[in-house]
Copies of this chain bind each other. A is one copy, B any other.
C-alpha cells in the first residue's frame, strides 16, 4: 500500500519480479531539467545482474523506456513514467518449492499479510524492485548535481573483510568513482577488493552467501536540509536505507562508536575556514539536530547475507503445515553488496532531492 517515497520529489515504484514489467513514476521533479534516457540507463547498467561471476546468472538488459514527463530533452514538471520489461524469466525453479518457506525471505510474512502472493522469483519482495529505485535515483542525482551535490557509495566491508577508506581523497571524486567501478566488489581499496571477491566466490562454492557494509557520502549538501522534529534529514535517510531489501542497520557519522565516546571527544568543534563556519571533525556525519551542517554527510548500512542459498535448510511446508527441508535453486547473488551500491546512492539521492525542494534550496522550475 505504501509504494510511494518522498514528499515533493516523490517516486512510486511498481512491479513483480516475474511479471510483465517493473517501473516507477517520479512526480515533483522540477521543470526544465535536461535529461535523457542514456543517463538513466547508465545507472541501471551499474545495478544490472549477470555482469560478473559474483552476481546472479539472470540476464536482464534492463532497458529503461521513458513514457512521459520529458519533452524536447527537458523535464516538464509532470510525472516521469519509466518502464523496464522483465525478459529473462524462469519461474520453473520456484514452482516446485512454492509452498516451502525460504528461510530469511519474505514469502511467509507477505503470504500471511496478503493471503495471496506471486510466488515467482519473490514477486514484489524481490531485490529486482530496486532497479526502479535506481531509475528514479538517476533523475534525483542529475538534479542534485546541477546544484552541486554529489553522492558516492562503495563496499566498506564484505564478509568481514574491511576496506581502508582513510586515504580516500574526496577532492578527486571522479577518480574515486572510477576506482570503485573498476572492481566487481565496488571497493575503493583495490588491495582488499581481491580478497573480498575471493570471500564471495568461496561462499558461492559452498552454496552459501555473505553480507557486508556499504558506506555512502554526500558532498556539497548545503546547511539547512532537514525538517525537525519528525522530518529530520537523518530520520528520512534511516527510513530510506532500511527500506532497501536486506538492510538491517544504519548509522550516521561515527554512529555506534559515538555511544562509547565522551562528549568532549564526540562533539565536533566549530571553526571558521575561508569565512565559512565548519566543524574541525565530522563525528556527526554532517547532520546536527536533524539538519545538514554543510559537512559531508556520511552513513553506513549493514546488509545481511543473501537469504537464498543452495545449502539445505530446515523449514516448513505451509500447505501441508509440516516441517521439512528446502534446497533453494533459482539464480542468486552470493553477495548482494556490490550491486546494492547504486541502490544506496539512489535512495540517498531521493532523500536529498526531496529535502532540497522542501527547504526551497532547489526550486520548482529551472530556467
Listed in ascending order, the chain A residues whose CB lies under 8 Å from chain B are: 1-5, 8, 10, 12-16, 19-23, 25, 27-28, 31-32, 65-69, 71, 74, 76-81, 83, 101, 103-106, 108-110, 112-118, 123-125, 129, 157, 159-160, 203, 206, 208-213, 223-224, 226-232, 234-243, 245, 248-256, 258-264, 266-272, 275, 277, 279-280, 283-285, 287-293, 302-309, 311, 313-316, 318, 321-323, 358-360, 363-365, 367
Contacts and interface: CB of A to CB of B under 8 A. Distances in A.
Contacts of A256: 213, 248-249, 251, 256, 302
B363 A360 contact: yes
Contacts of A272: 316, 321-323
Nearest to A292: B109
A106 B290 contact: yes
A196 B209 CA distance: 39
Nearest to A271: B323
B113 A223 contact: yes
Given A2-B227, A113-B359, A272-B321, A23 B81 contact: yes
A10 to B, nearest CB: 8
Contacts of A232: 242-243
A8 B1 contact: yes
Contacts of A239: 230, 235-236, 238-239, 242
A32 to B, nearest CB: 5
Contact of A245 (B112, B289, B367): B289
A304 B259 contact: yes
A303 B257 CA distance: 9
A49 to B, nearest CB: 18
A105 B238 CA distance: 20
| Listed residue (A157, A211, A254, A256) with the most chain B CB atoms within 10 angstroms of its CB | A256
12 contacts: A1-B10, A2-B231, A109-B224, A109-B287, A112-B223, A113-B364, A159-B260, A249-B259, A262-B305, A270-B316, A271-B316, A359-B364
